[in-house]
A and B are shown apart, each in its own frame.
Chain A
């Protein structure tokens, strides 16, 4: 499984990733981007039109399939029930965020352990850093976007401070990983 998290300033990098993924990536991809509730966002449509993979917003107990991109819906936390299915939760916001990147990352760490790669992109708060650390502690490959490049460096910076990121890379280098 591949999990990507980001907040302010992450959209264009994640969009680039979505565009570059081959249709045969052979992984399930979960994307958690902070967003506001109640505003129907064009993210799904924009991503779907520009991706070679299947794409859907996560619904209750959705199966986790390879070669599919899943988007965490607004106003829910996206959990991972097992290697085969997602879960949702409307509990308290984490770092003022719902979806929270920490929550999904921690679930991914628990379920997928070292069978997981995670990238934390630009953002203006610390959500995702602790989750990235759990992933790293469980053997996952963890990457933080280079804060030098990030529009909002706080999020990857927080992860780096906690020693949660095995690699610190620029988007171009991250994309090169997915393209091989």
Chain B
């Protein structure tokens, strides 16, 4: 079983070409080690050898949707890396408070946990009515979950420690309505959010933002694609707007290093300068 679910780099390239031709999604500059693991995972879950996987992809649009959901990593947490949220609270929120209104882009938002973490943070800072959060992802299915904002109570409880360590008052549960084993995010927190499809690889600027959060997305992109997305972010940020990357991610490109000032090195928070 395991040997059957193996795949080599030529086969990965072949699949990437096929998907681009048939469905227009371009995975060419995605990190190959992770992509390979995801494809093998799909082959194992669906019990498909390589030939059958190709066959399904060619013949079933429905299968492609499932494939798309599985190939991108949708594991996320609320308040992942609590020290990041502390930094955001201490270093960025004061800036945002000085604006009449701020727009925030949560890029690669998956099922919405990060977008709602930001919503909670802004609410606690009294900025809820002065801010709007756009969550985007390439995956329509996870966006539906994000729009609903309903999670399993067990999952939400597992974020209690993150929440507390982020330095917020009360408990994470305070922001949810609990019904049996489901937790729905409070309506007022949902009001100023909008979730929609956007592909960082192929789509362009759609608004101007004071803050862009794109955490643990760059790890799936090769350097050339990271640079492409940095260009998109740079052009989407208002002057002196902020960009937040994941804790283990950084701006590698020399030219973009000059266009961003480092606000917090450890948490990878940057500010657009120039232009």
Contacts and interface: CB of A to CB of B under 8 A. Distances in A.
Interface stretch (A89-97, A120-128, A167-175): A89-97
B75 A103 contact: no
A65 interface: no
B93 interface: no
A91 B75 contact: yes
A91 B252 contact: no
Contacts of A60: 218-219, 246, 248-250
A107 B248 contact: no
Contacts of A81: 31-33
B229 to A, nearest CB: 13
Interface stretch (A8-16, A25-33, A72-80): A72-80
B73 interface: yes
Q: Looking at chain B, what size class is its interface with the partner chain?
A: 20 to 34
Contacts of A110: 33, 36
A107 B35 CA distance: 12
Interface in B220-275: 220, 222-223, 246, 248-250, 252
A87 B161 CA distance: 27
A61 interface: yes
B17 interface: no
A58 B33 contact: no
Interface in B61-88: 73, 75-76, 80-82
Given A38-B161, A90-B216, A91-B37, A59 B250 contact: yes
Q: Looking at chain A, what size class is its interface with the partner chain?
A: 20 to 34
A3 interface: no
A116 B249 CA distance: 27
Nearest to A88: B219
B249 A59 contact: yes
B21 to A, nearest CB: 25
B161 A88 contact: no
Q: What 8 A-B pairs have minimum CB-CB distances, sorted nearest first?
A: A79-B33, A88-B219, A91-B73, A87-B33, A59-B248, A89-B34, A60-B249, A60-B219
Interface of B: 31-34, 36-38, 73, 75-76, 80-82, 161-162, 165, 216, 218-220, 222-223, 246, 248-250, 252
Given A79-B31, A89-B33, A110-B33, 14 more contacts: A38-B82, A38-B161, A38-B165, A59-B250, A60-B248, A60-B249, A61-B31, A61-B222, A61-B252, A89-B37, A89-B220, A90-B75, A90-B219, A107-B33
7 contacts: A60-B218, A61-B252, A81-B31, A87-B34, A90-B76, A90-B219, A103-B37
